[in-house]
Amino acid sequence: MKILQDHKLTLIAGFVLTAIIVAVAAATGGTVPSIFEGARWLHVLSGILWIGLLYYFNFVQVPSMGGFSADSKGELFKDGSIVRRALHWFRMGANLTLLFGIILFVELGANAGWDIRIGALFGIIMWANVMFIIWPNQKKVIGMVEATADEKAAAGKKALIASRINTLLSIPMVLLMIASAHFRMFS
């Protein structure tokens, strides 16, 4: 099937299937998600993209690249490479998660409990790490910004520390986000 051979068509097909499910639910008298519930779904979906790639970088890519030479890393970092594509979707996931999270937070208003507030704070810190530490430094590491070998090494260390902070914060953040919808940790 052509749909399954092209990642863009697969993604579109997933959204079309979702729309069909919602339409069938509406036609049979079921509950159709509100705009707020749709934003929550998109927040979770983009969060899976973001945190999934965060874990990929920290548990797969970074440990695997330790033995690579500078030349072979150069090939891995070239335009259109898996590393650049993953970093693009990583930033896209972070930005979309924040956007839909803000929509949810505004909608919740005074009903937002401490669990969601703390989880949101962790998410904002993580987003800021992506935008202001990880990405600017990764651009040096992958050669999008001119840098010496020493500058690339220092930038890689900065990006790694911020990425590890995000990994650390992601674990309690996910618990707090789940708690906000399914059980209260704080009153």
Angle made by CA atoms 48, 17, 176, in degrees to the nearest 5: 25
d(CA 41, CA 77): 33
Same structural domain, 53 and 19: no
CA torsion, points 89, 94, 95, 101, in degrees to nearest 10?
A: 140
Contacts of 32 (CB under 8 A, 6+ apart): 22, 25, 26
Task: For residues 50 and 135, state if they share a domain.
Answer: yes
- d(C-alpha 22, C-alpha 30), whole Å: 9
* pLDDT values of the chain reduced to their tens digit, one per residue, 187 residues: 799 999 999 999 999 999 999 999 999 998 888 888 889 999 999 999 999 999 999 999 888 887 777 677 777 788 888 889 999 999 999 999 999 999 998 888 878 888 989 999 999 999 999 999 999 999 999 889 999 989 999 999 999 999 999 999 999 999 998 887 788 777 6
If asked whether residues 21 and 56 sit together in one domain, one would say no
Domain that holds residue 16: 1-32
Give pTM, 2 decimals.
Answer: 0.87
- Reading phi first (left if > 0) and then psi (alpha if -120 to 50, else beta), residue 113 is in beta
Are 159 and 121 contained in the same domain? yes
Please indicate, yes or no, whether residues 28 and 81 belong to a single structural domain of this protein. Answer: no
Q: Does 170 share its domain with 118?
A: yes
Is residue 187 assigned to a domain?
A: no
Tokens of 14: 């997933």
Residues 7 and 47 in one domain: no
Same domain, 139 and 82: yes
Tokens matching residue 107: 């909608």
